[in-house]
Structure 1
């Protein structure tokens, strides 16, 4: 089993920070996904969430900004494993202009109403509707 840490940032409009992955990753190539990645051996998942956010976006947040929201069991056929995604969420004043792309085609804030028109990865397609219907999302709206 692999453990992943994923981050959902909600901007002042209520839009979600998402990554358009390129064709190279084993998981969800050419799809929109959450920012995040593997929790390294011996690494705390909370620390991994901050590390992955910084590596992929250039955004460096201070604890306890990212709060754990939920953990989702997923199957990753590319790895042949049953894995766990720990999802963290926070509000942000960051904009697309603040993002320094570290991985994928682009990382931008996406209007929730635009999600049905996007090719969203399997895990994100499970997580995002639940997040948008959650009390946590409502709390993060400004």
Structure 2
């Protein structure tokens, strides 16, 4: 197995709701499922900088605070760096329609019924909402 791919993800929480994006069905990796905003950490970039960049590229918002949180996923090829985001400038929009075809705010009790990119992340997601 090669080196793990570093990924930075943001769990946006507002008023007890979690923001998820729906990955476009044409995506090569994890198509047609709900996921956190985020993406690859570029060479020489910190995970914290990557999550701020990805949030601007994908949602058009400027993250004010990104607090590291534990995130469990089952893909051994990924090194996930997850962040709780509760403060940002701007209103999230789908600024990357080639990557996502929808974004929505979900109540914690709705998450178990979704097709998630990483089903093993559900406890981590619920903890993030509860901790916000």
With the length of structure 1 as denominator, give the TM-score of the two structures: 0.78
**Structure 1 contact 70–87 (Cα < 8 Å) conserved:** yes
Secondary structure in 2 matching 1:102: coil
Aligned residues: 126
**Structure 2 contact 62–88 (Cα < 8 Å) conserved:** no
**Structure 1 contact 73–82 (Cα < 8 Å) conserved:** no
* Deviant stretches of 4+, over 6 Å: none
The answer to whether residue 44 in structure 2 is matched with residue 48 in structure 1 is no
Alignment root-mean-square deviation, CA: 2.2
The answer to whether residue 77 in structure 2 is matched with residue 82 in structure 1 is yes
**Structure 1 contact 11–94 (Cα < 8 Å) conserved:** no
Q: CA deviation at 1:129?
A: 1.9
The answer to whether residue 114 in structure 2 is matched with residue 128 in structure 1 is no
More strand by share: 2
Gaps of 5+ in 2: none
What pairs up with 1:1-142 in 2 under 5 angstroms? 1-12=4-15, 14-62=16-64, 65-70=65-70, 72=72, 74-75=74-75, 82-92=77-87, 98-103=91-96, 104-121=100-117, 123=118, 125-132=119-126, 134=127, 136-140=128-132
